[in-house]
Amino acid sequence: MKNNLSVKIILWIAGLILLTGLPHVIGIYYTNMVVAFAIFSVFALSLNMLLGFTGLLSFGHAMFFGMGGYGTALALTHIPGLAVIPAVGIGAATAVLLALILSPLVVRVSGTAFAMLHLAFGQLLFVVALKLYKITGGEDGIGNFPMPGLFTESLSTSPVHFYYLAMIILGLCVWLMWFVTKTPFGQIQVGIRDNARRIDYLGYQVPQTKAVVYVLSAFFAGIAGSLYGLSHNLVSAEGSLGLWMSFYPIIATMIGGVGSFFGPILGVAVFQGIDELILRYTESTELVMGVILILVVMFLPAGLMGFISSLMLRLKSRSCKNQS
């Protein structure tokens, strides 16, 4: 036990040192890529809170991602001298606000209706963001907003600085989401996924529980979207609210594995790798992504994580047989 703990601590410290030193080793291009990876990991994890842990598929999760972005960008544009962390907080609060408004309606449905309702709301928000150009800048979006750093003048001139900020916030988010799955609430959540009726008969309120999950999920998606806006110094309807942004976390989660907590992170890593390769050889992202989706559903229904764990099981049983 003790040995295990010290190994754990050593691994954590090694990981932290690696993450701290990373930007100085791999250069700006790859540093930005790591930030994007972390942002989309949090986004995909927030989706998986609904999909994998509560059994709710949303085709409109970009809503919260986009609200986080717009909230932060608008706050930084219009509130002079606003610091960056409160700005991220405002972004997350905007996403939470939207979730609170939608939750009375969406917690009453599940399955296909839930998915389609979100598709529609997502599209609605997208159209509204395009049309309200006086506030949102229409197709151009909101760009070049001030980005005050914590210690430097501006985050935009110091990508390494931004890297540290983003990694700390996102790391905290991952830990919090992981923690939620370990709490009693996390158990009730999984219970709803498996058998909502029984949860009701045990004395839990299903809609209220779903609403809390929904708001939490929106909160984390909002933070991811806020940091995404900051990382580009731009928030636009197409970039943050588009259909693609709703499908991205679903695809990544499917690739990585819906059933496991860390599956979506693996999925985002694979996805980003593929994306890099695709951009190098062909411009048709849609085609390759479509084919990947089909292949994953047909041959890896439990995702890469499911595949890996079934492989481990097989190896284990084989080694057991060899021993006996």
Partner 1 sequence: MYISQAMHGIAYGMILFLIASGLNIIFGMMGILNMAHAAFFMLAGYFCYTVVGITGNFWLGLLIAPVLTACLGVLMERILIRRSHAAGHFGELILTMGVASVIVALIKKIWGTESLPLRVPDILQGMVSIAGMNYPIYRLFVIGLALGVLALMMLLLYRTRLGKIVRAAVSDRDMVNALGININLVFMFVFGVGTWMAGLAGVVIAPLLTVFPGLADQVGMDAFIVVVTGGLGSLAGAFIVAIIFGLLNSFGVQFVSQFAPVLMVAFMALVLAFRPNGLFGAKDR
Partner 2 sequence: MNILETRNLQHSFGPLKVLFGVDLQIAQGERHAVIGPNGAGKTTLFNTITGTYRPTAGEVFFNGKNITGFPPYRLARIGVGRSFQITSTFANLTAFQNIRLAILAKDGIRFNLFRKVDQMKKISQETDEMLQRINLYEDRHTKASALSYGKSRALEISMALATDPELVLLDEFAAGMSKEETQDAVALIRRLTEGKTVVLIEHDMDVVFSLADRITVLHYGKILATGKPEDIRNNQDVKDAYLGDLEV
Q: Is 79 in the site for partner 1 (CB under 8 A)?
A: no
CB contact set of 78 (below 8 Å; sequence gap of 6+): none
Figure out which of the listed residues 76, 169, 188, 241 binds partner 2, where binding follows CB under 8 A.
188
Closest to partner 1 by CB, 13 or 294: 294
Shortest distance, position 204 Cβ to partner 2, whole Å: 6
CA-to-CA distance for 223 and 192, rounded, in angstroms?
26
The distance from CA 22 to its chain's CA centroid, rounded to whole angstroms, is 22
Coil vs helix vs strand at 143: strand
Smallest separation (angstroms) from partner 1 to the CB of 32: 27
187 binds partner 2 (CB under 8 A): yes
Q: Does 183 bind partner 2 (CB under 8 A)?
A: yes
Decide if residue 297 touches partner 1 (CB under 8 A): yes
Size of the site for partner 2 (CB under 8 A): 26
The residue (of 23 and 239) whose beta carbon lies closer to partner 1 is 239
Q: Residue from 34, 82, 119, 269 that binds partner 1 (CB under 8 A)?
A: 119
Segments in the chain forming alpha helices (H): 2-54, 62-78, 84-106, 111-131, 133-136, 159-182, 184-202, 206-232, 243-256, 263-281, 285-299, 303-323
144/192 Cα distance (integer angstroms): 44
CA–CA distance, 8 with 21 (Å, rounded to integer): 20
Q: Does 317 bind partner 2 (CB under 8 A)?
A: no
Residue 209 touching partner 2 (CB under 8 A)? yes
- Which tokens belong to 139? 């197709």
CA–CA distance, 58 with 60 (Å, rounded to integer)? 5
Residue list 173-232, contact with partner 1 (CB under 8 A): none
Distance CA 130, CA 10 (A): 50
Q: Does 294 participate in binding partner 1 (rule CB under 8 A)?
A: yes
Q: Which residue, chain included where needed, has tokens 């900020």?
A: 165
Please state the closest distance from residue 43 (CB atom) to partner 2, in A: 21
**Residue owning tokens 């079934």:** 310
Window 129 to 148, contacts with partner 1 (CB under 8 A)? 131
Among 121, 214, 228, 261, binds partner 1 (CB under 8 A): 121
Q: Could you say whether residue 190 binds partner 2 (CB under 8 A)?
A: yes
Rounded to an integer, what distance in angstroms lies between the CA atom of residue 124 and that of residue 73?
20
Binding site for partner 1 (CB under 8 A): 51, 57, 105, 108-113, 115-117, 119-121, 123-124, 127-128, 131, 243, 247, 250-251, 254, 258, 284, 286-287, 289-294, 297-298, 301
Site residues (CB under 8 A) for partner 2? 179-180, 182-188, 190-191, 193-195, 197-206, 209, 212
